[in-house]
Every structure is written in C-alpha cells, then in structure tokens.
Amino acid sequence: MNIGIFVTRRKTLKISQVKLSQGICTQATLSKFENNSRVPSLPILSKLCVRLGLTVDDLYQDSVMTTVQLRHDLDHVEKELMMENYQCVLSQLNEIKANQLDEIEIKMQFCYLRGCVNALINQQPDRILFDFSQILNDLDERHQTIFTPLALLGSGIMYARHQEIQQANFYFEKVYRYIKKYQPADHLDEDNTYYLRMLTLIFFTAEFYAAQSKYRLSNQLIEIGVQLCSKERVTYYLPRLKFLATQNAVYQGKQPELIQRLMTETLAFTRINQDEVIEVKLAALRCRFKQSVTQSQLKS
C-alpha cells in the first residue's frame, strides 16, 4: 500500500487531519495511518478515501505496478540463467531486495534463481540450501508448484558440482520421476515460462546422467526436451540439448556421420539463438573429435 498517495491528495486539497477524520474516526487514528503505516479498518479507510475522491484500490496502484515490474525482471533473469549468463544473473538479483517481495510466487522464483545460480557457480552449500529450503519447507510446503522440482534440481546440481554423487543422484531421481509423470494435455493453458522451466529440469537431469555415463537415460531425456521445444516453439534450450546429444554420441563412439550431423544441427541452433557459450564448447568438442578420428586412422 502506498500511503503517500493518500497523504499527497489530502495536502493538495488542503484538508487537515482533524477535518478529514471528523465523523469517521479520531484524528489520532488518521495520524497513526499517515505517520506509522498503521492501517485502520477497511470501512474507515474507505470513508476517508471517498472524502478525498480516492478508492482503496488507488492506494495499491504503485504496489501492483511494482509486482508487475518484479515479475518482468525475474522472467528476464530466468532467461539469462538459461543462456548461462551467470554474471548478469547475479548482478540483476543483487539489485532486488528479497525482504520486500510480497507475492509467494515471486518469492519462490527469486529463491529458485538465486539458489540455482549459486549452485552453478559453486557457492557455499549453506547459502544454496537456504534458498531451496524456503521453497520446500515454507513457500511450497504442499509441493504443488513446479518450484518444488526446480528446488530439488538445484540441490542435485549443487551436490554434483561438489562431487557428492550419491546425494546428487537422490535429488535427480526425484526430478526424473517428475519429468516422467509430465503429461502435455494437463498443461494446455500454461504459458511459455512453464515449458521453459520443464526444459530446465530436462536439460540438467540429462546432463547429470550423461556425466554418470548413463547415456540411455540422458538421450531419452534429450529426446523429450527436443520434442517439447518443437511442440511449444521454444528454442532457448535447443542448442544445449543438441550439444549434449552430440557429446553423448562422441563419448559412446557412434558413427562419425551421425556425429557430424549432430554437430551441424547444434551449430545451426546455436547461431539462431546467438548462444556463444555453446558455440565455444562445440568448437572444442569438434577439435577433440577430429583428433580422435585422426588417431584411429593412424592406428589402422
């Protein structure tokens, strides 16, 4: 609530507190509202607003605009996270005051983003788990939103980055079960943000299983992700999914023709999305692949 709107209107109309409160409430009640943010009962507040030509909703106008702006800012941060622009994510999150977030969904999004980026850059576990615990034990304690599996995913990433594979596997298995239960028909009314978060779950779980040489599971998830990208016409994760598929094929010793095709597809999607991080990774992978082919030819 923006009490400043109320005070500004009263002073503009040159109405004293005594005159405004007459017949509605005591002057002390009005003073506590204006000076100490002690909001009176709704009937009293409504009458005071009417006398000033305002409505109670007018006092929340700035709050609504702030919420809309926060949601827009966090959505932008989330897309930067998907593009692996971690420094940008940290910088923008630091500009948001966490203690001023009111809406539960915005709080969950903020905690997820901060926890996830800290996990990806190997920050201290206590900082990471604090954010995810807020989601799991407070904000989404009934585990009814996608932020619960996202918090589990972030926890898995953290343990994997610290080479605690048993703990990481515990969390990734939970995320994998969530992905397997996903039915597109149940989410027809969802916006692109939901599908991008599903792709986040899919990609990092596929990446984890690839790192554990569980290529069948990893490739299965990659295929689910590519199909989701195609169906929902979202491309943020296509370069990363295609790169992971290419990397898996190289490590599995697949046919060179298949690997070359996957590299070509990865490069195409990388350039469409202007994903410089994946383009650099692909160039390095291509060099390693060429070296391995050359060595094989020399041996034969």
Other Cβ atoms closer than 10 A to 253: 10
Residue 64: pLDDT over 80: no
Look at the chain and report how many structural domains it folds into: 3
What is the C-alpha to C-alpha distance for residues 214 and 206, in angstroms, rounded to an integer? 9
- Residue 54 and residue 4 in contact, taking contact as beta carbons nearer than 8 Å: no
Tens digits of residue pLDDT in 117-170: 999 999 999 999 999 999 999 999 889 999 999 999 999 999 999 999 999 999
Tens digits of residue pLDDT in 252-277: 999 999 999 999 999 999 998 888 88
Say yes or no: 109 and 199 in one domain: no
Domain residues for the domain of 34 are 3-54
- Residue 243 and residue 198 in contact, taking contact as beta carbons nearer than 8 Å: no
Say yes or no: 205 and 300 in one domain: yes
User: What's 138's DSSP letter?
Assistant: I
pTM of the entire structure?
0.77
Say yes or no: 126 and 214 in one domain: no
Tens digits of residue pLDDT in 34-59: 887 788 888 899 999 999 988 887 78
In a domain, 176, yes or no: no
- Residue 126 and residue 111 in contact, taking contact as beta carbons nearer than 8 Å: no
Say yes or no: 115 and 224 in one domain: no
- Residue 112 and residue 135 in contact, taking contact as beta carbons nearer than 8 Å: yes
